[in-house]
Amino acid sequence: MKRPKYRSVGQNQRKVDGEALVTGQARYVDDIELRGMLYGKILRSPHAHARILEIDADEARGLPGVHAVLTHHNVPRIQYTTAGQGAPEPSPKDTFVLDEKVRYVGDSVAAVAAETAQIAEEALKKIKVRWEVLPAVLDMEQAMTPDAPRIHEMPSANEISNPEKNIAAQVEVTDGDPERGFAEADLVVENHYRAGRVHASHTEPHICITCLDEAGRLVVRTSTQVPFHVRRIIAPLVNLPIGKIRVIKPRIGGGFGAKQEVLLEPICALLTLKTGRPVRIRLTREEEFISSRTRHAQILRSKVGAKSDGTITATELEVLADTGAYGSHALTVQCNTGSKSLPLYRTHQYRKGVNNVHFKATAVYTNLPVAGAIRGYGAPQGFFALDSTLDEMAHKLKMDPIDFRLKNLVRKGDSPALLEKLGEGREGVKQILKSCGVRECIKRGMAEIEWQQKRARKNGGVVRRGVGMAVLQQGSGIPGIDMGAVTIKLNEDGSFNLMTGATDLGTGSDTILAQIAAEVLGTAADKCHVFSSDTDLTPYDTGAYASSTTYITGMAAKKAAEEIRRKVLARAVRMLSEKRGDLTLENGRVKGRKKSISLGEVCADALYEHDQEQIMATASHISYDCPPPFAAHFADVAVDTETGQVRVLKYVAAVDCGTAINPQLAEGQTLGGIHMGLGYALSEEYQFDDRGRLMNPRFLDYKILSASDMPEIKVILVPTFEPTGPFGAKSVSEIPTNGPAPAIGNAIFHALGVRLREVPFTPERVLKALRNA
């Protein structure tokens, strides 16, 4: 295919905010100090499940320096979900700002605003609570049993799937005739997999500062991925119309999904409304671990049927997920476990037109910390179970695992039927694959890892070597739901302002949007001043989640830039007395056959000289396509059979993200996602005691991998052209997180002949598996 030549797109443009970040000039929420600002602190529940019989805050209120204490008695009793999703949110509305009941150790009991953080902490200690401690359920498999305590008991528990059985959400989708598919299989492989609960480990904790402006409007500065959802979701909770709320997202220090959550804003705003003063609440690291959001722990039953020639006849995933005390993202994360993994493989090849897929997921409440959105959004669990099962199937069929996958992977032009039935908590949208580089990813990754040589390696001794792989996909935005908008205006020096509601939380999306706009406008990306995001000043965007910003908002930036381009060219025709068809935009100038003028001159003409106007444009974009990026991950591991230690010596990730708008940033996203995935596979895990208390809410005892733990990683970008994306781009940010657990698990199997079915693959689990083999 002949590729169009780009000047800005495809370049390793330096991050537009890079210099400010490395010189410490970037302003985070915590860098903002407002006159008269109070410090907010939240009293946390010591019990996993308890009712507040009596709460006495008089002494706390009387403490000098304390300005307000909120308990369930003096906050509005409105049910909502903290999940920062589009309206109506597909998560159960099971949360109150403060409730008369607590449902996990770390749940909110009361909040204080005081002149210093010390006074606020002192005040928390003076709040007296009389508890009725209730039996707790800490195990997701017990949550649905008849004698399990009921966690959400209010009759008004709306949109909870089945509160009597502690079921927050459930979904079941069947396509074709899976029973027949399994019956017609020569071999069926079925097993259970367990994926633990992990933390997003973003550097900057959740932090929020609220205040009232001179017009009495509520201003919320918050470290969020979803400023517009924050504004909409808090409006009823603080009893203000949306127009009286302004949400500002300053620089963000990472979120990975955990900030797709309306966590601190309601209580912080209520403290401001109560006191009239600015209030700041920042979570401590311990609170961040316990009281923000985690990845859903899941138990998955994965089943695959195949003919002896390796043709898959049916696939099935049944998921039990632990959503913790509240059901934030309970339905949609679980939907994604199926809708990202299963459609990667055809099940209709052995009998034309019959896709045999069954997917069922149940998310249950427990008295443990709350799960939510985290990079990958259910897909890492799904791929761990499904891809491990495929690897096992290949082994049993005596096929090379790659040959087996290649035989069954989707192809361009396919329309996986499951995606039509299984969407974002509701029916999906029909998808037709318009770009698919998965085979090229496998081919190039195989060569880089030296697959053939390493699969044939002789093995023995204490330390065994193995190589494994996994094939992955994700989506690009949520089809038919995610919308992004961009405003661009032209300045007299030829530079542009680009205003967007999209939130660069360290992903580099500000830079990507600048590169896209600059490409259209024939100028340099650094001529594009990106401002994100402020609900008063920037147009709407769903926010940074579902791998959407490059694909959705990027297209909005392209459309807005094209509109500017039309307006610029229209003026240039008159100014240069040339024909429209002879004009090009290049290096910040409009060039005709004879003469040229700068973009600045065009702007000056528009502002001061002729038929005056501000050259600006706003464009929105929504897509009914959700093109999956594809990837093939490979891990070369060494397993010590005496200590159980798994070391990853080399890791290869070949990824088809369509056109990489900025290859270096795409590579960076891939490396970061692999880092998260490696921790998920090897070392990260919440450890609770028998009373539901988190034992390791600190990086001393919750081990993410450090620089010295990282293997050699090779990222290979495999270019394809996605016709529905800006300049052919698809997403890249979440997909890498899905790879390490299955790829390493499969490599361990190759090394030891033993399959590990629970992540993380700790040394003790490896030894246990070896001994049980």
Structure-token pair, residue 204:
């900057």
In the complex, what is the shortest distance from the CB of residue 645 to another protein, in angstroms, rounded to a whole number? 8
Please identify, among the stretches 98-106, 402-410, 464-472, 691-699, the one whose residues bind another protein according to the rule CB under 8 A. 691-699
Considering the complex, state which of residue 1 and residue 773 has its C-beta at the smaller distance from another protein: 773
C-alpha to C-alpha distance for 418 and 317, rounded to whole angstroms: 12
C-alpha to C-alpha distance for 508 and 554, rounded to whole angstroms: 12
Considering the complex, state which of residue 121 and residue 184 has its C-beta at the smaller distance from another protein: 121
**Near another protein in 744-763, by CB under 8 A:** 762-763
Contact of 504 with 475, CB cutoff 8 Å = no
Considering the complex, state which of residue 527 and residue 765 has its C-beta at the smaller distance from another protein: 765
Query: Does residue 59 belong to the site contacting another protein (CB under 8 A)?
Result: no
In the complex, what is the shortest distance from the CB of residue 208 to another protein, in angstroms, rounded to a whole number? 19
Please identify, among the stretches 63-71, 250-258, 263-271, 703-711, the one whose residues bind another protein according to the rule CB under 8 A. 703-711
Contact of 259 with 507, CB cutoff 8 Å = no
- Tally Cβ neighbours within 10 Å of residue 612: 9
In the complex, what is the shortest distance from the CB of residue 199 to another protein, in angstroms, rounded to a whole number? 15
Please identify, among the stretches 211-219, 376-384, 513-521, 702-710, the one whose residues bind another protein according to the rule CB under 8 A. 702-710
Contacts of 355 (CB under 8 A, 6+ apart): 175, 176, 346, 347, 348, 416, 417, 418
In the complex, what is the shortest distance from the CB of residue 701 to another protein, in angstroms, rounded to a whole number? 5
Contact of 486 with 442, CB cutoff 8 Å = no
* 618 membership: H or E segment, kind and range: strand 616-622
Query: Does residue 687 belong to the site contacting another protein (CB under 8 A)?
Result: yes
Contacts of 500 (CB under 8 A, 6+ apart): 484, 485, 486, 487, 510, 513, 530, 531, 532, 533, 538, 539, 541, 553, 556, 557
In the complex, what is the shortest distance from the CB of residue 194 to another protein, in angstroms, rounded to a whole number? 18
In the complex, what is the shortest distance from the CB of residue 706 to another protein, in angstroms, rounded to a whole number? 3
Considering the complex, state which of residue 85 and residue 683 has its C-beta at the smaller distance from another protein: 683
Judged by DSSP in three states, 490 sits in strand
Quick note: the x/- pattern for another protein over 483-522, rule CB under 8 A, is ----------------------------------------
CA nearest 545: which of 205, 200, 84?
84
- Of the candidate residues 162, 491, 596, 696, the single one contacting another protein (CB under 8 A): 696
Contact of 66 with 111, CB cutoff 8 Å = no
**Near another protein in 708-727, by CB under 8 A:** 708-709
Contacts of 199 (CB under 8 A, 6+ apart): 258, 288, 289, 294, 295, 684, 686, 702
Query: Does residue 703 belong to the site contacting another protein (CB under 8 A)?
Result: yes
**Near another protein in 593-652, by CB under 8 A:** 642-643, 645
Query: Does residue 764 belong to the site contacting another protein (CB under 8 A)?
Result: yes
**Near another protein in 114-153, by CB under 8 A:** 117-118, 121
In the complex, what is the shortest distance from the CB of residue 647 to another protein, in angstroms, rounded to a whole number? 9
- Tally Cβ neighbours within 10 Å of residue 215: 6
In the complex, what is the shortest distance from the CB of residue 644 to another protein, in angstroms, rounded to a whole number? 8
Query: Does residue 203 belong to the site contacting another protein (CB under 8 A)?
Result: no
Give how far the C-alpha of residue 711 lies from the chain's centroid of Cα atoms, to the nearest Å: 24
Question: Is the preceding peptide bond at 64 cis, omega within 30 degrees of 0?
Answer: no
Structure-token pair, residue 365:
């409440």
C-alpha to C-alpha distance for 222 and 527, rounded to whole angstroms: 28
Phi-psi region of 550 (alpha: psi -120 to 50; beta: other; left: phi over 0): alpha
- Of the candidate residues 218, 258, 364, 705, the single one contacting another protein (CB under 8 A): 705
In the complex, what is the shortest distance from the CB of residue 118 to another protein, in angstroms, rounded to a whole number? 6
- Of the candidate residues 141, 145, 695, 753, the single one contacting another protein (CB under 8 A): 695
Please identify, among the stretches 4-12, 23-31, 249-257, 682-690, the one whose residues bind another protein according to the rule CB under 8 A. 682-690
- Of the candidate residues 63, 240, 273, 767, the single one contacting another protein (CB under 8 A): 767
Contact of 409 with 345, CB cutoff 8 Å = yes
- Of the candidate residues 609, 613, 701, 712, the single one contacting another protein (CB under 8 A): 701
Considering the complex, state which of residue 37 and residue 438 has its C-beta at the smaller distance from another protein: 37
Contacts of 46 (CB under 8 A, 6+ apart): 105
What is the binding site for another protein (CB under 8 A)? 117-118, 121, 642-643, 645, 682-683, 687, 695-696, 699-701, 703-709, 762-764, 767
